[in-house]
Amino acid sequence: MAMAHALGDTAALTGRSMRHILRSPDTIITTAVTPIAIMLLFVFVFGGAIDTGSQPYIDYMLPGVLLITIASGIAYTAYRLFLDMQGGLFERFRSMPIARSSVLWSHVLTSVASNLVSVALVIGVALLMGFRTGASPLAWLGVFGMLALFTLALTWIAVVAGLSAKSVDGASAFSYPLIFLPFVSSAFAPTDSMPGPVRWFAENQPVTSIVDSIRALFSGSPVGGEIWVALAWCVGILAVAWIGATVIYRRKAN
């Protein structure tokens, strides 16, 4: 009974958040603009100077651009959560008979939905630019599953930022390092060309394993054990961020 009550509350509040997104679709479009600009820049300006073997550069770098799209989009989650807190919405919710967890989960689920729409827009532009894939329907499902899990993990980091921030700018500033992280990975260039310490960092940070897994799924190549490393990173980040957000929220709710 309590679970059904919580799910009903979450669905109602998620509907509220989604309506806000639909009333301002420029949020989704803005999220996609920067990654598309990066894609255009790297493919048509830098792509010819980067050796990716027989694989077209647009096919090589698209997974990294998709992660940048998600990292850009989650900043809006922190921003909206901060505004709800500052506007006293959480206090009004506490006076109502709704599950406390539904307040956070509504923002999280809205983030996942809106970011996957932004990802679809970027993939659409990539197809116009020449991106081609031999991925099967199951591989496509794996790609979107990985991206959804990555979005879920980063969104809970956004929740921590939104709950902890002291200003609007502070609520979204946390996303800048996350946007930069793919540039120090295998997302845009093979790690073999990087200096020793940079190469070590690039090969042992989460973005590289996630990008390599998505790239293999798109190309129809064997994924191997890299996908388990990617999943471990996503689940680990998700667990730590969720625990942190829950602790902070309980402190603020009491």
Helix spans in 24-136 (H): 26-41, 57-86, 89-94, 100-128
pLDDT band at 83 (very low <50, low <70, confident <90, very high): confident
pLDDT at residue 8, rounded to an integer: 61
At 127-138, the pLDDT tens digits run 999 898 888 899
- Which residues have CB under 8 Å from 150's CB, separation 6+? 67, 70, 210, 234
Distance CA 196, CA 194 (A): 6
Using the predicted structure, report yes or no on whether residue 150 has a pLDDT greater than 90: yes
Count of other CB atoms within 10 angstroms of residue 141: 12
% of the chain with per-residue pLDDT over 90: 31
Using the predicted structure, report yes or no on whether residue 141 has a pLDDT greater than 90: yes
253 or 131, higher pLDDT: 131
Using the predicted structure, report yes or no on whether residue 33 has a pLDDT greater than 80: yes
Where is average pLDDT lowest: 12-21, 144-153, 175-184? 12-21
The domain locations on the chain are 28-48+60-253
What three-state secondary structure class fits 138?
A: helix
% of the chain with per-residue pLDDT over 70: 79
pTM for this model (two decimals): 0.87
> What distances in angstroms separate CA 178 from CA 4, 52, 136, 174, 182, one per listed residue?
35, 24, 30, 8, 8
At 98-132, the pLDDT tens digits run 666 667 777 788 888 888 888 999 999 999 998 98
Mean per-residue pLDDT for 40-67? Answer: 83
Structure tokens at 236: 């680990």
pLDDT at residue 254, rounded to an integer: 62
> What distances in angstroms separate CA 129 from CA 20, 44, 57, 73, 214, one per listed residue?
32, 10, 11, 22, 19
41 or 167, higher pLDDT: 41
Using the predicted structure, report yes or no on whether residue 16 has a pLDDT greater than 70: no
pLDDT at residue 5, rounded to an integer: 47
CA angle centred on 152, ends 56 and 145, rounded to 5°:
50
Environment class of 111 (CB within 10 Å of its CB; exposed 0-12, middle 13-18, buried 19+) = buried
pLDDT at residue 26, rounded to an integer: 62
Using the predicted structure, report yes or no on whether residue 97 has a pLDDT greater than 60: no
Distance CA 20, CA 25 (A): 9
